[in-house]
Structures are given as C-alpha cells and as structure tokens.
Amino acid sequence: MAEQSPPYWVLISVLFSSQPLTPALAMTLHQAAYDLYRRGDSEQPVAGDLLTGRVRNLRKDVQMGTIVGPAFEAEIETERGSGTVRFLLTRQGLELMKDQPAEPLAPPRPRYLN
C-alpha cells in the first residue's frame, strides 16, 4: 500500500488569511514553504490550478499556544481575488516531512536516441 502524505492541518498552522483556504491551497503553500525552509531561500513563486503568487520565508520561529515553527508569508491571487496568508510550518509536520522521500523538482526530460 502506498504511503499517503500527512493531512494539511498537521503540516501548516495559519496565523492569518484574508482568503478562505481550501485543503489544496494549504498544501500548495505548505510545499512552497517547505522547499524554502529546506533550501534556506528567502522567496519563491508559487502557482497551482487555482492560485499564483509568492511565498516569503520570514526567517523566524513563532509560537501560537503550543504550536511552534518557522514563519512564512504569502501574497496570492485566487479566483476570489488577491490576499495575504501568514502561516507557520509545524515542528510535527517538519519531522513527518523529513521521513518522506524528496519529490523531484522537475520531471525528467525524455531521452531520444536519434
């Protein structure tokens, strides 16, 4: 049986959002933030079926109750308009992601022998 990815509510905790977040949008933001966190970069574009925008690594840890993790901010455009999302990656989610195999950044190009 193939392993499933952890549910988004374990991976990401939203501090503020001016747009309603669907599970697909939350997972898209999580993946972009996790890539930034893993590489140590400060900003990257994000795009999906229903959004475009940029995710920024705020380079600080924040705490909300008992949830602690690195903070991120996204400026996004969705079918409902533009918005801002401030969120953190949970420590539990980071640990779970560490155990998952890394996804390739781009699909391999076909090789032709002619």
pTM of the predicted model as reported, rounded to 2 decimal places? 0.77
pLDDT tens figures, 39-57: 999 999 998 888 899 999 9
C-beta of residue 89 within 8 angstroms of C-beta of residue 30: yes
Summarised one tens digit per residue, pLDDT across range 65-82 is 888 999 999 999 998 899
* DSSP letters spanning 5-21: PPPHHHHEEEEEESSPP
The span from the CA of 23 to the CA of 27, in Å, is 6
